[in-house]
Structure 1
Amino acid sequence: MSAATKKRYITNKVGSEFYELAEEDIIAQVRQSRGNNLHEVLDQNGDSYVVSMPTKFRKAVWLRRDQFVVVRPIAEGDKVKGEIEYILDQDNVLYIRELGKWPSCFEEHALKMTREAKRGKANDKMIDDDMLPPSESEEEDDESEDEIEDTYDEDEETDDEEFDTYNPNRMQAPSK
C-alpha cells in the first residue's frame, strides 16, 4: 500500500467508523503535545501521563488540545505509559456516551458537544435574523425613537442659548 493510499485509508477510517471500546481501553483527553509524536493526556481516573502515537496515525491525523483519544496502556513504559489506539471525533464521543461508557469526569465536555450538535441540526433549516428584512413593528419602533431624539435635541439647543459663559481659551468674548 502506498503512503498516499494508507493516509487516505486511515483518514477515512477515523472519520467514518464508530469505535467499540475494549475492556482495557481508557478514554483520555489530550492536554499538550510533547513532540516526537508524544502527547500528555489526562485519563478518566484523573492521572496525567505521556502516551505515544502509533505510526499509522503519524502524518495522517492531527491531534488538538482537549481532543479525546482511546489509550491502550503498555506495561513496559516508565515515562510513556500508553499508546493511542483511536482518535475520537464528535460523533464517536456522542456514540460512546449513548452506550453509557463515557466517563463521568468528561461529561461536561460531552454535553457541550451535544448542544453544539443540536444547534447545528436546527440552524441548517433556519435563516439568521440579520438576513431577513425588518418587520413593520421594528420600523414603528425606530420612528418613535427618532421622534424622541428630535425633541431631546431641541431641548439641548435652548439650554445652550440660555447659558453664555466666558471661555478664556477663546480669542473673542461671547457676543450677545
Structure 2
Amino acid sequence: MSKTTKKKHVTQEAIESDFIPKNGQFIAKVITARGNNLHEVESQYESESILVSMPLKFRKTIWIKRDNFVMCDPIDEGTKVRGEICACLLDDHIRYLKKLSLWPQKFDNTGSKQATEDSKFYLSADIPLPSSSESSQSEDENEDQSEITTEFKVMNLNRVVPEETHSSSESETEEACS
C-alpha cells in the first residue's frame, strides 16, 4: 500500500468512525507534546498526568495539539509510558459520546468553558452589531448605509492589537510643532 493510500484510509477512519471506549480504554485530554511522538495527557481516571505514545499509523498523518481529546489503550508493562493513542476524538465524536452518556464528567465543562471564552473575545467590542431593524430595510438602503457606517469587524485572534491611548504628551508635541 502506498503512503498516500495509507494516509487516506487513516484519515477516513479517524473522521468517519464512532469511537466508544472498550476493554479498559480511557479518554484523555492532551496537555503537552513531549517529543518523539510522546504526549502528556490528563486521564479521566487519574489526577496526575501520564505519558502516552502515538502509534506509527498516526505519525505524519494526524496532528494532535494541546487541549485535544484522545482515546488511549493502557500499557501495563511500562513505568513511564502508560498508554497508547488509539483514536483522536473530534468534536463530532465528543458530541456522540455525550449523547450516549459515555463522556467523563471530569472533561464535561472544559470544552464549553474554553469555547465561550474564545467567542467572547472574537468579535470586537467597540463596534456594535447590526440591529434587527437594519435587516428589514431594503438592499439599496443597506448598501448606502454600509458605505457610511462601519460594519462589525472580526478580530484576528493570532495578532494582539495594542490599545491606542491618547495622552497629554501627544497633544504637547503637536502644540510644539505648530
C-alpha displacement at 1:133, in angstroms? 5.0
Is the alpha carbon distance of 1:89 and 1:16 closer, same or farther for their aligned partners in structure 2, counting shifts above 3 Å?
A: same
* Mapped partners of 2:115, 2:79: distance in 1: 37
Percent identity for Structure 1 against Structure 2: 40
AA paired with 1:52? S
| Residue number in structure 2 paired with 1:22 | 22
| Residue number in structure 2 paired with 1:13 | 13
| Residue number in structure 2 paired with 1:159 | none
Query: Counterpart of 1:39 in 2: which secondary structure?
Result: strand
| Residue number in structure 2 paired with 1:87 | 88
Query: Counterpart of 1:13 in 2: which secondary structure?
Result: helix
* Mapped partners of 1:86, 1:134: distance in 2: 45
* Mapped partners of 2:20, 2:114: distance in 1: 19
| Residue number in structure 1 paired with 2:39 | 39
| Residue number in structure 1 paired with 2:157 | none
Query: Counterpart of 2:57 in 1: which secondary structure?
Result: coil
| Residue number in structure 2 paired with 1:139 | none
C-alpha displacement at 1:13, in angstroms? 1.2
| Residue number in structure 2 paired with 1:99 | 100
AA paired with 1:30? V
* Mapped partners of 2:95, 2:135: distance in 1: 39
Q: Pairwise mapping of residues 47-62 of structure 1 onto structure 2 (< 5 A)? A: 47-62=48-63
* Mapped partners of 2:11, 2:63: distance in 1: 10
| Residue number in structure 2 paired with 1:73 | 74
* Mapped partners of 1:51, 1:90: distance in 2: 21
Q: CA deviation digits over 1:53-100, x for unaligned, max 9?
A: 000000000001000000111011111000001000000001011111
Is the alpha carbon distance of 1:24 and 1:104 closer, same or farther for their aligned partners in structure 2, counting shifts above 3 Å?
A: same
AA paired with 1:36? N
AA paired with 1:9? H
C-alpha displacement at 1:25, in angstroms? 0.7
Query: Counterpart of 1:51 in 2: which secondary structure?
Result: strand
AA paired with 1:3? K
Query: Counterpart of 2:30 in 1: which secondary structure?
Result: strand
More helix by share: 1
* Mapped partners of 1:24, 1:80: distance in 2: 16
AA paired with 2:18? F
Q: What CA RMSD, in Å, does the superposition of the two structures yield over aligned residues?
A: 2.8
CA contact (8 A) 1:97 1:110 kept: no
CA contact (8 A) 1:30 1:69 kept: yes
TM-score (norm 2): 0.63
AA paired with 2:49? S
Q: Structure 2 regions of 5+ residues with no counterpart?
A: 117-128, 138-174
Q: Pairwise mapping of residues 130-149 of structure 1 onto structure 2 (< 5 A)? A: none
Q: Structure 1 regions of 5+ residues with no counterpart?
A: 116-127, 137-168, 170-176
C-alpha displacement at 1:134, in angstroms? 7.1
Q: Which has the larger radius of gyration?
A: 1
* Mapped partners of 1:107, 1:97: distance in 2: 9
